[in-house]
Every structure is written in C-alpha cells, then in structure tokens.
Structure 1
C-alpha cells in the first residue's frame, strides 16, 4: 500500500478500522506510555503541537493529502469520515498556510470526527478552542487557501515524519501525537496496560520515599561506570 504515497485524484471509500473499544482504551494511556510500550516508534515530530491543553483523544486515521495552499480535499474527506475518526492531513510540499478553521471544524464535528492532526497551518484557533474541537498542527496562520488542486483521501502519507496508513490509530495529548499500526493495536493495548500498571506501582513506591536508584537497580551500573561518592572535597585531594 505504501507504493501509493503521493498519488492524487483518488478517494478510497472503505478502509479497515481497529476495534472501537481498543481505540478508546488507548486514550487512557496517553502518548508517552504508548510510545514506550510499542518500542519507541510512531511518534510524530515535535513540530506538531496542540493548540489546546488538557485534551487526550484517540481515533482511526482518515488520511488527506492536500496541495500547498489548497484545502479542497478537506471537503472531500468529510464525506468519508465516521464517528470516532481523526483527520490526518499533510501537504504534498511544505506549507504553513491556514488550511483549517471554524467552518471545517463545524462540519467535522457534525460527523463525529474527534480531532485534526495536520502537518501544516490552521487558523481561528480561539474559536476552535471554544468549540472544543482538538487540533494538533505544525503552525498557526491566518493565511487562507484556495480550492483548485486535487489531492487524495485514504491513501498512505507522511505526517510529522511518520508514515500513516488509513485506519491506523492516532493517540494525541499534550505531549504530542503517536501512531499505532492498525494490525498491531491489540498487542500495543496489552503492552500499554502492563507498562501503566508498572508505572503505577513505581509511583506508589516513590511517593513513600523510595529512591529511583534502588527501584531501578541503578547502583551497580553507576559504580561500573566509575561513579564514586566522597564525604567532602578534601577526600579528592589536590
């Protein structure tokens, strides 16, 4: 399927999606835990940032390739969205224009879309926050766009440095955005549960005053690296 990256003039109507219950469960773990649990992969670049704070979301990716300065394919994509989806958008060449604002957000919200992740710009951010429509974007720009050039919907694309296939699961929060391959969702959920449980146990131990040095068995390795303790500077001599 990756051989279709960059193709234009195509809309794929039917894409496979992961189990909705598992998608919703991933939301409770957050980006950092999932990224670690799946082997530190799938994390979008740090240039993709939330325009709001305190929102965690997850959903199936509907992918949209757009031309620079042209948001025509957004309107095409809305028709292909289902409740619980997240729109993942990238331009065919770098562009930070404001592709997306309150009108498109209203349309997506009416179709149950949970969020937008875009490797480009958005505008109307104050209104978007008031609406409660979550966005992770590369830029904020009042610069408008036109509707002239075809892109594609539901073909693989690269967003924030990561390959995203339609139907992959997107999890986004204040820390950023992570992509989970659709076929890997069940095992990533299990791994995330395990990691979350371990972190909870460590949190309880740290709260009781235990040291990370002991919880993580760091002392031997630190000594092997040459770390030594002295009671005062005089012990170091000249």
Structure 2
C-alpha cells in the first residue's frame, strides 16, 4: 500500500503481541452511545473485525471487558476503534485483539443512534464494509476490497525481494557497503 491507507498511529493494540486480520464490519457510533456496538456484535459474522468510528472520543469507552468478551465468544476476530475502551485488565485477560487510542473509566450510554455496515472514517482513513484490515504493534492498514488481489500479489513480490536482500546483505560488511552505495547513487 506504499504507506497509504494506514490508521492514525495513535490506534495501537492494548497488548504489544496482539495481531488482527479480517474483513471490516464497520460501525458508525455517536460519541458516548454504544448501543450500535451491541447491534454490530449481534450482526457480524465469525471472522469479521469490528471497525468502530467513535469520532476519536477519548472520554467515554465504546466497550468494557464484558462487551469485548461477547465479541470474542461469537467469533469476531478483533475490535479496532478510533476511541477508547475501559476495563483494561479484564480485556487483557481475554487475550483478544483490541486496538484503540487508550483507556478511560467512563462508560457509554445506550440511546440507540448509529449505523452498521456503512462507509466510515476510522483513524483518518476511509473504510468500507468488507475491506481487509490488518493490524499489529506497528499499526493498522486497510486494504480496499477492490484492490485486495493486486495488493496480495505486490506484497508477496516485496516480501520475496526483501528476504533475498536480507539474505545477501545481512552480516556481510562488503555487501552492506555495495548495497548502500548503489541505493544512495540511485537517489
């Protein structure tokens, strides 16, 4: 994706070793009202990843450990939110991938507004239902559904080239110098 389509680097996993991948099940949530998150958990399919646009709110949580545990039990692959969660110790004990901006103590209300499976903006990136989302300690990237085959092919090519370069250059002073000379002269 050439460094494009990644979410804000402020959205990180609650545990460094968490990884997530799957199809985006999008949630547009009004600030401080998480009833739509419960609807999304009910509607999402096994293997989906809930991607929640909470407008970047860091005051009221989109969910705590109880709601996150329900998503886990129903087979949802993870939760990514442009917002915060609560009950961090409980969420960590679930060993379930949650990516967010941080934590708070304040719970959300349940007035009932919001939408599911509509285009959203999360972490400054547009996400459509069914896009692929992949996240780890470095952040989250979104692969638009219409580009997934092309991105897969290009990713495999890049991985192969990176592995060949590392095999040739790593630990070899002469090859490192050659590589650096060639790289710098091409710029």
Same fold per superposition (TM over 0.5) = yes
Partner of 2:24: 61
Partner of 1:220: 185
Partner of 1:41: 4
- Counterparts of 1:74-223 in structure 2, within 5 Å, are 74-91=37-54, 93-96=55-58, 97-210=60-173, 211-215=175-179, 217-221=182-186
C-alpha separation between the residues in 2 aligned to 1:78 and 1:115?
Answer: 11
* Matched position secondary structure for 2:82: strand
Per-residue CA deviations over 1:69-124 (Å, capped at 9, x if unaligned) read 11110111112211111000012x44212221111112111221111100011011
Structure 1 residue 207: deviation in Å?
Answer: 2.3
The answer to whether the 8 A contact 1:67-1:149 is kept is no
C-alpha separation between the residues in 1 aligned to 2:139 and 2:56?
Answer: 20
* Matched position secondary structure for 1:158: strand
Q: 1:156 to 1:193 in 2, by over 3 A?
A: same
What RMSD in Å do the two structures reach over aligned CA positions? 1.6
C-alpha separation between the residues in 2 aligned to 1:189 and 1:84?
Answer: 19
* Matched position secondary structure for 2:151: helix
Unmatched runs of 5 consecutive residues or more in structure 1: 1-37, 223-238
User: TM-score, normalised on structure 2?
Assistant: 0.92
C-alpha separation between the residues in 1 aligned to 2:17 and 2:166?
Answer: 21
Q: 1:106 to 1:219 in 2, by over 3 A?
A: closer
C-alpha separation between the residues in 1 aligned to 2:164 and 2:120?
Answer: 39
The answer to whether the 8 A contact 2:29-2:53 is kept is yes
C-alpha separation between the residues in 2 aligned to 1:88 and 1:220?
Answer: 43
Residue-pair matches, total: 184
Dislocated runs of 4+, deviation >6 Å: none
Q: 1:161 to 1:144 in 2, by over 3 A?
A: same
C-alpha separation between the residues in 2 aligned to 1:207 and 1:94?
Answer: 41
Unmatched runs of 5 consecutive residues or more in structure 2: none
Structure 1 residue 125: deviation in Å?
Answer: 1.6
